[in-house]
Each structure stands twice: as C-alpha cells, then as structure tokens.
Amino acid sequence: MALLQELEQRLKHAYGTEAAVHRECRRCGTTVTPTERACPACGSGEISELSL
C-alpha cells in the first residue's frame, strides 16, 4: 500500500511540525516564530496569535 503511506507522510508533513497558528507582533506586525516569546524586530512581548 505505497500510495496510502505516501498520503500519510504528506498529512504528517502538513500538520506535524508546522504550527497551525500564525503569530505576529502587535506593535510592528513582524511574524514571530513559535519558539520566540518576544518580537525579534522590536522586542515587544505583545504577540497576537491567529488560528489558521
């Protein structure tokens, strides 16, 4: 069942490591990665999270 395994791999790739939430700085709008607690551009700790 190679086709089924390939499909499973694609699903894992799509939903596995990538966060389903978009995070960005409230102050300057810079995209903030899930590992960062503050904005890398302006240092603001106010991060808005948008569910995709």
Judged by the rule CB under 5 A, the positions of this chain that interact with Zn ion are: 25, 27-28, 30, 39, 41-42, 44
**48 close to 39: Cβ distance less than 8 angstroms:** no
> Of 7 and 28, which has the nearer Cβ to Zn ion?
28
Nearer to Zn ion, 18 or 29 (CB): 29
Residue 22: CB minimum distance to Zn ion, A: 14
Rounded to whole angstroms, the Cα distance separating 24 from 45 reads 10
Least Å from the CB of residue 47 to Zn ion: 9
Report the sign of the C-alpha dihedral through residues 17, 23, 24, 25, in that order: negative
